[in-house]
Amino acid sequence: MNILVINGPNLNLLGVREPAVYGRTTYAELLDMIRAWAAELDLSVEFFQSNHEGALVDAIQDAPGQYDGILINPAAYTHTSIAIPDALRAVGLPAVEVHLTDITRREPFRRISYTAPACEITYAGLGPEGYKKGLEYLKRRLAGR
């Protein structure tokens, strides 16, 4: 089972960007954790990160035939993008939304997720563990096809 892990804008700055909000785990450390969790679950993961909405849409559109599911943290595009959920719906792959922070307890503009309705489930506020929960969900979901 091949999973595409997509991370949106500014996640490449984890550990540096507002550590009081997003934690001190660096992006490289996050990827290492996800790799380890995927290995435990017998999943193959590939990563894509971009600060550009169109690049994220392109990665989603290129996923069918290569990946069985998508784990996505759209970051700020969660609250602004219509193109990303449209792409998720268009490709028809099982998708899970994940956020390091609990967006429902953040600023009012962050409480709206345009991507959540295009995903099967959202994990928010669990820090890096949300990615693990997302992988576990996709494993169960794909095993029960």
CATH of the domain at 55: 3.40.50.9100
- Looking at every residue in the chain, the average pLDDT score rounds to 94
Q: What whole-number distance in Å separates Cα of residue 139 and Cα of residue 137?
A: 5
The answer to whether 62 touches 91, Cβ cutoff 8 Å, is no
Looking at per-residue pLDDT, the higher value among 103 and 54 belongs to: 54
Q: What whole-number distance in Å separates Cα of residue 141 and Cα of residue 135?
A: 10
The answer to whether 43 touches 68, Cβ cutoff 8 Å, is no
Domain, as residue range, for 105: 2-143
Q: What whole-number distance in Å separates Cα of residue 131 and Cα of residue 137?
A: 10
Quick one: CA torsion of 129, 130, 136, 140, rounded to 10 degrees? 160
Q: What whole-number distance in Å separates Cα of residue 58 and Cα of residue 22?
A: 27
The answer to whether 131 touches 37, Cβ cutoff 8 Å, is yes
User: pLDDT tens-digit profile of 12-52?
Assistant: 998 888 777 667 889 999 999 999 999 999 999 999 999 99
Average the pLDDT over 84-88 and give the result: 98
Looking at per-residue pLDDT, the higher value among 86 and 106 belongs to: 86
pLDDT at 71: 98
Is residue 125 left, alpha or beta, with left meaning phi > 0 and alpha meaning psi from -120 to 50? Answer: left
Query: Which positions are annotated as active-site residues?
Result: 22, 99
Residue 47, strand partner residues: 5
Average the pLDDT over 56-66 and give the result: 98
Q: What whole-number distance in Å separates Cα of residue 140 and Cα of residue 54?
A: 30
User: Considering its fold, how many domains does the chain have in total?
Assistant: 1
